[in-house]
Structure 1
Amino acid sequence: MPPAGDAAFDIIPARKLAGRVAGLYAAAGDHFETSAAETLDLALDGIPGDFHAGPTRRSGSREPWYPRGTEMRNERQLSIVAPDELAVVAGRMGLAEILPEWTGANLLLDGIPHLSMLPAGTLLFFKGGATVKIDAQNGPCRFAGKQIAVRAGMADEEAGALLFPKVAKRLRGLVAWVEKPGRVALGEEVSVRVPEQWIYRA
């Protein structure tokens, strides 16, 4: 067993980054696809009226440890993506572009390197006062892939639905929840606080 204390681990110090809100989107209907907005009001339950809003949600295939449909904490109130990562995925799918709306994104953040690799616990402080906390990477699924295929006019929509999860792994962005309510505006600055990190070794 390794000795206790920091000596047993490689500790990566906390750091700060900066970015900009390049796009805002909300899903006001009964489908996950979003529409562009100039501002978003973030409440503790997420975006009021949004497809993914609410303090709780029902478990699905991402939570095999629960029976499907189990009520659980909603840590997926917001979907966050980056323009450079969407461009990479589009290229891998042979598409000219993938719009954030097609993936159900709420926030498009620019200027943050390797956005999808930000660790759980990262805090996003928006200049207008809202704070968002990162829960995890957003695993790419065939439902988003199907929507991309439909919107991009792919000849084989099912093939596109299956291709997306393969080529978008670790490039699909992040899911997050609202820690402090506030209004976020297009073009707004965001301060990113990445927590201290380590690899756990039992």
Structure 2
Amino acid sequence: MPADLFGDESPDPDLLVRGRRLAGRVVSVLKTAGAESFETARCDDLVLTFEGIPGDRHAGFTRRSGGREPWYPRGTEMANERQVSVLSAEELALVARRMDLPELRAEWIGGNIVLAGIPRLSLIPPRTRLVFEGGAVLRVDGDNAPCRIAGRAIAARYPERDGLDLLFPDKARRLRGLVAYVERPGTVRAGEAATAHVPEQWIYSPD
């Protein structure tokens, strides 16, 4: 590789955003009843291993690709970066207001950890580390795109309302929380502190 591939110029400082730490807390922890269950239920503590949440629908070192990965044939085995669903209490309340609903519960849409106090949680960038007071650490893969499956679960709670299954993907865009995988095993409990270690970011341009 030529030594001058990147030229002599330093990166434009306007394209860089410094890393930071954001403090929050765990509101609740939840898990599925089994591998076939989409919805979750609150529990006293959430045990995290390198495979994710034991017995959970999304547990495993690998997973099968689906509609979110059109670059692979459906069913292709791939690394499981979606072991844990992390939601924001503030964003859940905002989506509920946008949908004109009295409440929107994390368990209806398969959440595993609900956090409070971290602004714009769903926009936190990949590579962010979520460090929990008890020692567990999650590495963020990215935001979780809202889907009609979650919308149908919400619609089931409000049978008097039509079209909620399609309204949710529209109103929850970039407010659906994060997907993450376990970097360091441990146990997460409601009420404990959680810190987002956000890495330095930059806007990439090949020019």
**Would you call these one fold, judging by a TM-score over 0.5?**
yes
Rg larger for: 2
- One-letter amino acid matched to 2:153: Q
| Alpha-carbon distance, 1:70 to partner | 0.5
Which amino acid is the alignment partner of residue 21 of structure 1?
A: V
* Deviation of 1:151 (Å): 2.2
1:76 CA displacement:
0.3
SS in 2 for 1:187: coil
Equivalent residue for 1:25? 30
Residue 203 (structure 2) pairs with residue 199 (structure 1): yes
Alignment check: 8 A CA contact 1:25 1:37 kept: yes
Gaps of 5+ in 1: none
Residue 28 of structure 1, CA deviation: 2.2
Q: What's the TM-score once normalised by structure 1's chain length?
A: 0.95
Say whether the 8 Å CA contact 1:2–1:8 is kept in structure 2. Answer: no
Instruction: Summarize the alignment of residues 50-89 of structure 1 with structure 2, pairs less than 5 Å apart.
Output: 50-89=56-95
- Who is 2:153 aligned against? 147
Q: SS of the counterpart of 1:151?
A: coil
Query: Any idea what the Cα deviations from partners look like across 1:22-56, whole Å, max 9, x if unmatched?
Result: 01000122121000011011000000001110111
Choose the corresponding residue for 1:42, options 17, 37, 48: 48
Equivalent residue runs for 1:166-185 within 5 Å: 166-185=170-189
Q: Which runs of 4+ in 1 moved over 6 A?
A: none
- The answer to whether the aligner puts 1:93 opposite 2:99 as a matched pair is yes
CA distance in 2, matches of 1:12, 1:65: 30
Q: What SS does structure 2 have at the residue aligned with 1:60?
A: coil
**Match of 2:18?**
13
Q: Deviations over 1:87-116 (max 9, x none)?
A: 111111111010000010000000101110
Give the letter for the 1:166 counterpart.
D
Identity %: 52
Equivalent pairs, count: 200
Q: TM-score, normalised by structure 2?
A: 0.93
